[in-house]
Amino acid sequence: MHVIFSHGKESGPWGTKIKALAEIAKAAGHSVESIDYTHTQDPDERAAVLGKYLPTVDDNVLLVGSSMGGYVSIRNANPPKVKGLFLLAPALYIPGYERQEYFYPLNIDIVHGWSDEVIPYQNSMKYAAGYNVNLHLIEGDHRLNSSLDTVSRLFESFLAQWA
């Protein structure tokens, strides 16, 4: 599998979470890369960047997105190339974002912190309930850095589907 990471609005392509999760993916035998979206704050422009990039990679892609990167990832979750999504506090159901409905018949795991002060965890609950995807509500704020061990274990479990 090829794992493509999409960072959030205020972070960069190789922030703390992405570095940690990329090491886990590499250790499991997957190739990894992280797209740099820092040239724009517009979520739909970022989604277009990933959309233009995906046709250039081989099949069997897993998308991992954090916050706005979660929105970017889910906007581009087109089977059969994309096999699964791992979303961290995804920016779903945000006013002003072009897309508000997101259905994909994929393996999807969402991790969201109970204390998220940026994206309400209820948005992830709404999505998970509506589309029957795996939702992990854990201790932590929006960045989830204080819960990185838990996030890492959940990511390892998610990747095990493609071992």
- Convert the pLDDT of each residue in 122-133 to its tens digit: 999 999 998 889
Q: Which residues contact 142 (CB under 8 A, 6 or more apart)?
A: 67, 89, 113, 116, 117, 118, 119
The alpha carbon torsion through 97, 98, 103, 104 (nearest 10 deg) reads: -100
Contact 70, 97 (CB under 8 A): no
Residue 141's Cβ-side half-sphere holds a number of Cα atoms within 13 Å equal to: 5
The pLDDT value recorded for residue 45 is 97
Q: Mind listing the pLDDT tens digit for each residue in 3-30?
A: 999 999 988 999 999 999 999 999 999 9
Report whether pLDDT(2) > 80. Answer: yes
pTM: 0.95
Residue 39's Cβ-side half-sphere holds a number of Cα atoms within 13 Å equal to: 7
Band the pLDDT of 100: cuts 50, 70, 90. confident
Q: Mind listing the pLDDT tens digit for each residue in 129-162?
A: 988 899 999 999 999 989 999 999 999 999 999 8
